[in-house]
């Protein structure tokens, strides 16, 4: 007879408060003449603060009352840049730009109004940024350059912009843009213009993405000679391309993704170096690798004990990154460029002893007509065939990573095994895998979530009769579809999850305004497909308990969706609970709310198992 998680032996139980406190994360980093700077999020107060590392010490620059976070495209990114004598950042509360010196002075407003800003770059004495304006009629985006008392529009007319980048000599400006109905991971274009003698810019011309098969371009970069490069998935994976003697062509690279899907602005997963060498991180079976690729194709591996690396930067002596491993939470690290020794500058303190941490095992399993991926975390001190919690990431064009996640450890410490899925449609496995979700959302992702249960059960790793499923946002939609259309799970949890895709399409923001058309189809022409894949319309088919968690300020999945689904289940006599948080948006940030949600989900599952 299998033990339940309640009766499984657990030593010094890892509390929800501890799991949340261990969720400190870092959003981005920059290095310049004045040292290294990074943006740090601490769940205890939900604020993002800038830190400055110099001469072996770090101190916080962001005073109380400020939080450094952009909300451009709702998901933000690129929230600060370094200037000649300080920095400029986006303040979360009003989304305006502020300057800050490095001597402890209070931030000073650089802009005022109703615009939002993101993807900041400092160039030629000005801040380059993506600007977002909201009116009753529409939301508009453009590229601007902002200095003291002046604002110049650099590009407008496209629906979306990203990555404004100026060459070191100030002579060339490049950026990425795209139009609806595309998403930044389906089809974008790389543009460039040149500065003429009077300081004006020539008309922009398209470098890549204008002809031939659709491609996604991201992270344009200039090298020290003014040559332009960019990541493109033209050959099936996000790899470096650039201006070479042969024209615009692919650089030597492994046939793997060198970036994740660009949900947020300001990513940095590769950097050109001298003589067409480049520093990069890339994915192999979901694990990050790091190295320098030389122009002749040879690779200098930089072997570090980290499984996820992002936000790369470098100076003469060091490479810098935000890194995490299966036993180490996110950390800011410096890697010596000559001997590859690693120094941890911030974060990286494990919340548990290494021997008590459940470590990820790569999953590759058959599902439907394809192969799915993910990571399996064995239960700690549990029965031979423990209960299983299937984690479904949001996006859905996103990914999970094999790095220490305190939420997963919360479950494994309680005798649950965890399957963290990169279902078909996730990023990190190439364009074909990512595009597999096209018109099949609510179908193949659900298929993969169900198939992993039988895959693990056949290997004697879990009890299939005690399987649970949980997900946030798009992962909540997959969760609800799995519960409505399959008889696999004992219960589920939807965190700000989609229950009515058509309602989402009507209410969601511009960035995802056409995403549902790509994922499912045209709401009018494909109305029957929507009906078949709408959990709210099939609530009567859900026969197991469901718990919901929702932010009242959510602009992506509005609270009314969750209330409707909750009411439908209760009307059908199904045990359902709803927890609504007045101050939360899409994705929870307040420590008390995060801990409360985790505890309530655990309590809910335990009661299901006890009945």
Going by the DSSP 8-state scheme, the letter that residue 170 receives in this structure is: S
Which pLDDT score, from 0 to 100, does residue 30 have?
A: 98
List pLDDT tens digits, range 477-519: 999 999 999 999 999 999 999 999 988 888 788 999 999 999 9
3-state SS string for 379-393:
CCCCCCCCCEEEEEC
List pLDDT tens digits, range 210-251: 988 999 999 999 999 999 999 999 999 999 999 988 889 999
Give residue 598's Cα distance to chain centre.
21
Which pLDDT score, from 0 to 100, does residue 3 have?
A: 42
CA–CA separation, 195 vs 171, rounded Å? 5
Beta-ladder partners of 142: 131, 156
Beta-ladder partners of 205: 192
3-state secondary structure of 422: strand
| pLDDT band (50, 70, 90) for residue 12 | low
Neighbouring residues of 459: CB distance < 8 A, sequence distance ≥ 6: none
3-state secondary structure of 512: helix
Integer CA distances (angstroms), 564 to 100, 489, 582, in order: 46, 22, 17
Q: Among the ranges 9-18, 545-554, 581-590, which has the highest mean pLDDT value?
A: 545-554
Neighbouring residues of 45: CB distance < 8 A, sequence distance ≥ 6: 591
Nearest to 455 by CA among 522, 362, 532, 573: 362
* Structure token pair of residue 493: 């949890």
3-state helix, strand, coil in the chain (%, to 5): 20, 35, 45
In terms of C-beta distances under 8 Å and separation of at least 24 residues, what long-range contacts does 71-74 make, across chains too? 71/95, 71/116, 71/118, 72/116, 72/117, 72/118, 72/119, 72/130, 72/132, 72/141, 72/265, 73/118, 73/132, 73/160, 73/265, 73/509, 73/510, 73/511, 74/509, 74/511, 74/555, 74/556, 74/586
Residue ranges covered by each domain of the chain: 357-610
Residue 363 has pLDDT above 80, yes or no: yes
Cis-peptide, bond into residue 181, ω within 30° of zero: yes
Neighbouring residues of 361: CB distance < 8 A, sequence distance ≥ 6: 375, 376, 377, 378
When pLDDT is averaged across residues 310-323 and rounded to a whole number, the result is: 97
**Whole-structure pTM value:** 0.93
List pLDDT tens digits, range 120-142: 999 989 999 999 999 988 999 99
How many other CB atoms are there within 10 angstroms of residue 226's CB atom?
14
**Contact status, residue 368 vs residue 397, Cβ threshold 8 Å:** no
CA–CA separation, 227 vs 223, rounded Å? 6
Integer CA distances (angstroms), 183 to 189, 518, 558, in order: 11, 9, 21
What architecture is domain 357-610? 3-Layer(aba) Sandwich (3.40)
List pLDDT tens digits, range 429-465: 999 999 999 999 999 999 999 999 999 999 999 999 9
CA–CA separation, 41 vs 288, rounded Å? 22
CA–CA separation, 312 vs 29, rounded Å? 8
Residue 109 has pLDDT above 60, yes or no: yes
* Structure token pair of residue 262: 């660009």
CA–CA separation, 566 vs 160, rounded Å? 35
3-state secondary structure of 503: helix
How would DSSP label each residue in 232-283?
E-TTSS-EEEEEETTEEEEPS--SS-SS---SSB---SEEE-GGG-EEEEEE
Which pLDDT score, from 0 to 100, does residue 6 have?
A: 44
Dmax over Cα atoms in the chain, in whole Å?
82
**Contact status, residue 291 vs residue 280, Cβ threshold 8 Å:** yes
Which pLDDT score, from 0 to 100, does residue 11 have?
A: 46
How would DSSP label each residue in 314-339?
E-SSEEEEEEEETTEEEEEEEEETTT
* Structure token pair of residue 72: 């451009």
Average pLDDT score, the chain: 94
When pLDDT is averaged across residues 28-56 and rounded to a whole number, the result is: 93
Residue 400 has pLDDT above 80, yes or no: yes
When pLDDT is averaged across residues 250-279 and rounded to a whole number, the result is: 95
Nearest to 30 by CA among 289, 271, 287, 240: 271
* Structure token pair of residue 233: 């998935």
Which pLDDT score, from 0 to 100, does residue 275 have?
A: 78
When pLDDT is averaged across residues 315-340 and rounded to a whole number, the result is: 96
Among all chains, which residue has been given the structure tokens 């999850």? Answer: 497
Which residue blocks in 331-421 are alpha helix, DSSP H? Answer: 406-412
Neighbouring residues of 592: CB distance < 8 A, sequence distance ≥ 6: none
Which pLDDT score, from 0 to 100, does residue 8 have?
A: 43
């Amino acid at each position: 007879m299998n033990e339940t998680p309640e009766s499984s032996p657990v030593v010094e139980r890892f509390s929800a408060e501890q799991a949340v406190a261990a969720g400190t994360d870092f959003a981005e980093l920059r290095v310049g003449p004045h040292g290294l700077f990074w943006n740090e999020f601490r769940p205890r107060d939900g604020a993002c603060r800038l830190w400055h590392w110099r001469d072996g010490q770090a101190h916080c620059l962001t005073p109380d009352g400020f939080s450094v976070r952009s909300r451009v495209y709702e998901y933000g990114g690129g929230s600060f840049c370094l200037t000649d004598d300080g920095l400029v950042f986006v303040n979360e509360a009003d989304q305006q730009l502020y300057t800050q010196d490095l001597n402890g002075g209070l931030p000073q407003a650089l802009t005022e109004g109703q615009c939002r800003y993101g993807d900041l770059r400092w160039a030629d004495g000005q801040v380059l940024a993506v600007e977002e304006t909201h009116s009753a009629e529409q939301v508009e985006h453009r590229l601007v350059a902002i200095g003291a008392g002046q604002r110049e529009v650099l590009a407008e007319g496209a629906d979306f912009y990203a990555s404004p980048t100026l060459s070191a000599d100030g002579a060339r400006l490049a950026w990425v843009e795209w139009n609806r109905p595309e998403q930044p991971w389906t089809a974008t274009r790389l543009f460039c213009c040149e500065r003429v003698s009077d300081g004006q810019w020539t008309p922009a011309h398209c470098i890549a993405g204008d002809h031939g098969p659709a491609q996604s371009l991201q992270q344009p970069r200039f090298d020290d000679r003014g040559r332009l490069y960019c990541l493109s998935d033209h050959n099936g994976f996000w790899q470096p391309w650039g201006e070479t003697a042969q024209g615009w062509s692919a650089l030597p690279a492994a046939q793997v993704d060198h970036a994740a899907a660009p949900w947020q602005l300001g990513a940095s997963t590769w950097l050109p170096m001298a003589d067409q060498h480049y520093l990069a991180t890339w994915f192999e079976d979901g694990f990050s690798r790091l190295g320098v690729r030389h122009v002749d194709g040879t690779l200098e591996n930089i072997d570090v004990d980290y499984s996820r690396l992002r936000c790369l930067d470098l100076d003469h002596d060091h490479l810098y990154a935000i890194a995490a491993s299966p036993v180490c939470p996110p950390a800011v690290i410096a890697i010596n460029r000559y001997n590859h020794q690693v120094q941890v500058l911030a974060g990286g303190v494990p919340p548990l002893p290494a021997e008590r941490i459940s470590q990820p095992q790569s999953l590759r399993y058959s599902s439907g007509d394809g192969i799915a991926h993910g990571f399996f975390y064995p239960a700690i001190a549990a029965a031979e065939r423990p209960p299983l919690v299937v984690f479904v990431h949001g996006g859905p064009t996103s990914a999970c990573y094999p790095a220490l996640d305190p939420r997963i450890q919360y479950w494994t410490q309680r005798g649950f095994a965890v399957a963290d899925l990169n279902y078909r449609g996730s990023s990190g496995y190439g364009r074909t895998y990512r595009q597999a979700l096209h018109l099949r959302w609510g179908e193949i992702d659900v298929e993969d979530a169900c198939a992993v249960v039988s895959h693990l059960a056949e290997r004697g790793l879990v009890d299939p009769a005690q399987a649970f499923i949980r997900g946030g946002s798009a992962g909540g939609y997959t969760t609800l579809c799995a519960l409505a259309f399959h008889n696999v799970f004992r219960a589920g949890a939807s965190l700000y999850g989609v229950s009515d895709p058509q309602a989402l399409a009507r209410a969601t923001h511009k960035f995802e305004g056409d995403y549902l058309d790509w994922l499912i189809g045209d709401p009018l022409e494909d109305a029957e497909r929507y009906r078949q894949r709408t959990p709210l319309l099939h609530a009567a088919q859900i026969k197991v308990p469901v718990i919901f968690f929702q932010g009242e300020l959510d602009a992506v999945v509005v609270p009314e969706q969750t209330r409707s689904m909750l009411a439908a289940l209760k009307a059908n006599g199904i045990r359902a609970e709803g927890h609504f948080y007045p101050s939360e948006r899409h994705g929870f940030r307040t420590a008390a709310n995060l801990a409360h949600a985790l505890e309530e989900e655990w309590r809910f599952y335990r009661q299901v198992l006890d009945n």
